[in-house]
Amino acid sequence: MPSRLRTVVTRGLASYLYPGLIILGSLVFGILVGFFLAFIRSSGELTLIPSAASIVYDLKGREVGRFFALENREPIPLSQIPQVVRDAVIAVEDARFYTHRGVDLRAIVRAAWADIRGGGLIEGGSTITQQLARNALLTQRKLISRKIREAFYAMAIERKYSKDQILEFYLNQVYFGHGAYGIQCAAKTFFGKEAKDLDLAEAALLAAILKSPKYYDPYLYPEAARRRRAVVLQQMVKYGYITQAQAKAAASEPLGVVPLKPRERRAAYFLEYIERQLASKFRRLELDTGGFRIYTTLDNDIQAAAEAMVAQMRPGRPDAKGIVQPQVALVALDPTTGYIKAMVGGRDFGNTQLNRADRAYRQPASTIKPFVYTAAIDSRTFTPASVLVDEPVSFKNNDGTSYNPRNYDGKYRGAITLQEAIEQSVNVIAVKLVDRLGPARVANYAKKMGLSSLVFTGRQNDLNLASLALGGLTRGVTPLELAAAYTPLANRGIKVEPLAILKVTDRQGNVLFEQRPRRRVVLDEATAYVMTNMLRRVVTHGTGRQAYLDEFHPVAGKTGTATRNVNAWFVGYTPNLLAAVWIGNDRQDQPLPFGSGEAARLWAVFMRQAVRHLPVASFVPPAGVTPEIAICKESGELFGPNCPAADQDFAVFLAGTEPRVFCHLHSSPVKPEGEGHELSSTTGGSPAVETETVTVRVCKESGLLANAFCPEEGIEEKAFRRGEEPTQYCNLHGPWSQR
């Protein structure tokens, strides 16, 4: 093309192109200005509150665990962040932070030149405010459009918030690696301390990590982290925050990071339990990001004892689903408040998340018997010394079939007191009691004491002898439900509902949700004490011997082994801690290689550790009960001077129901032959008529046979014609007179 023609064409195109470019540039500029003005106008709507993990605390204010979606963050105010941390971050990330208005043009030009020389997006040049905008409001992708929006957001943020507020938001927002978001979590993760306790070297290292948590990871790349820390320290010198001597000293220090801890699953089943409870109060997103403070009834020390107990279990084997069997569950309550102090729902939360503590219904077996005996004692028709006959019996069911209860050992003991029957967990006696009291009466006692899963209607229900006496329930019970139902026995007749969450607050401490103990009197205090005394004998003399602790910690409790040995239980309590332990296979058709003795053993393993964190206490007898009285096991009457020592037992009674007659089976008012016989005659000393007399010890005050409690000075020996001597023992002196 000739040069003249080229010139004409070029001028012609320019005459159209330049105006077009000007118009296009004006449009782009107008759009950018519009965006900017829109951001400025909307700056009042910007919210920079970072998401935060909700922290769960135990009863003593110690952290138990956290709920969070992706970012484990614990925001703290700027006042709790040391000045040395702020200086280190500003020196290396944004030296002109306190002078620019969100965007630092000088830094942008420097970064742009670095990108041009490197042939790509190499250096960001973003201010702290821009980084905050990106982390809180935008994506992390390096795009021109994002950089523009980032700048606009930064300017909007600067219009709404002060520099200190922006710095606080930033330090609580940024990621440091290893799951630590924000300066507080970073301080705990890398140094095992609070942010407020960080020193210069530690602050410089955390500031160094910010550039790249991956490449400056002090665990994976310690030398790179050390070099970057030195850069941070020199930047602090450059801008006058520290002296060269301070920088040199800090740079020579070891990195000082603590070993990384695997994320603990402490109290995992308890956390799962309260998470379900909170689901009805808060949305999941609120729980994971709202930074709630959840104050619970758990005691970390007692929970640790529960988890240590699991480690003492016999080895198990995985089933077809890979879940180790047998499984275990434990619930520990404060019987006076209902506070759940510990909870275990299985061997390992990582292996199985089913919380058997409150979601698995199992047959309670003989742990149901205390409800039967409570109904019996409270009726005042029966006492611990009441004698029933342990023998083969048969009962007619409603459908016409026969029910023949048997004892777990296949033996029958004959006449036996109720106290000994519960000690030895005799099934026949429990069934006889239900039969005499009536199933409805026993069921109502169990229900009001806390067995809420009883079934009273339908073709198959729990209003029958076997269910209520031996624990073969229609639905079964959970360890949590069973433990709660024992609280009236441990708590002077007062039932308390299990309680796990005390209150939930927001970040500012405002209470969002709060609960208090719920108590209700369901038993007479004296009845509860008599039952507790009987259950103490289960541990000292009966099937629960393996649950015995020591002479300083009295224990009351009951064992239970389900039919075919598929469930093993022990529910027991001291005056200030109650715990239920269940062991069994998830498939209830597989028997255990052991019985309830193993549950009692594990219970004791747990309690020996748990009671170390509790004051020593005793069961205090209330008004309305007798002191402990010696009785004869064979007769159920007062232990007499001639009763065999092996037959001696001790029991307490509701006042007015105690035995008052000495054992008639072993006591005789007649002295041994030859000691109390005299011959008398009517003539000259020759025995014309023989008259037999007996000499007995008589209480002067009552005129009756002296018993072991009559004062020695009030006893005299008197001779009577045979057949005229008193036959009853003194009713004025005895254990009842000591009340």
Task: State whether residue 674 is helix, strand or coil.
Answer: coil
Task: Tell me which of 54, 71, 74, 93 is the catalytic residue.
Answer: 93
Is omega for the bond preceding 326 within 30 degrees of 0, making it cis?
yes
Residue with tokens 């944004």: 94
Listed in sequence order, the residues at least 6 apart from 389 whose beta carbon sits closer than 8 Å to its beta carbon are: 414, 415, 416
Q: What is the DSSP string of 426-442?
A: -HHHHHHHHHHH-HHHH
Residue 366 annotated to the active site: yes
**CA pair distance 548, 615, nearest whole angstrom:** 18
- Compute the distance between CA of residue 171 and CA of residue 90 in angstroms, rounded to an integer: 11
Residues with Cβ within 8 Å of 610's Cβ and at least 6 positions away in sequence, in order, are: 301, 302, 305, 306, 332, 341, 342, 577, 579
Residue 581, classed as helix, strand or coil, is strand
DSSP 541-567: HSTTGGG--BTTB--EEEEEE-GGG-E
The answer to whether the beta carbons of residues 257 and 198 sit under 8 Å apart is: no
Neighbour-count burial of 512, counting CB atoms closer than 10 A to its CB (0-12 exposed, 13-18 middle, 19+ buried): middle
H-helix segments, 75-127: 83-93, 105-118
Residue in this structure with the two tokens 């064409």, named with its chain if needed? 9
Token match 């200086």: residue? Answer: 87
Residues whose CB falls within 8 Å of the CB of residue 515, separated by 6 or more in sequence, listed in order: 499, 501, 502, 503
Catalytic residue selected from 51, 54, 126, 366: 366
Alpha-carbon distance 78 to 81, whole Å? 5
Smallest CA-to-CA distance from 479 within 547, 567, 587 is with 567
Dig out the tokens for 474 from the structure.
């229609």
Block residue for tokens 């069921």? 443
Annotation marks residue 391 as catalytic? no
Catalytically active residues are 93, 366
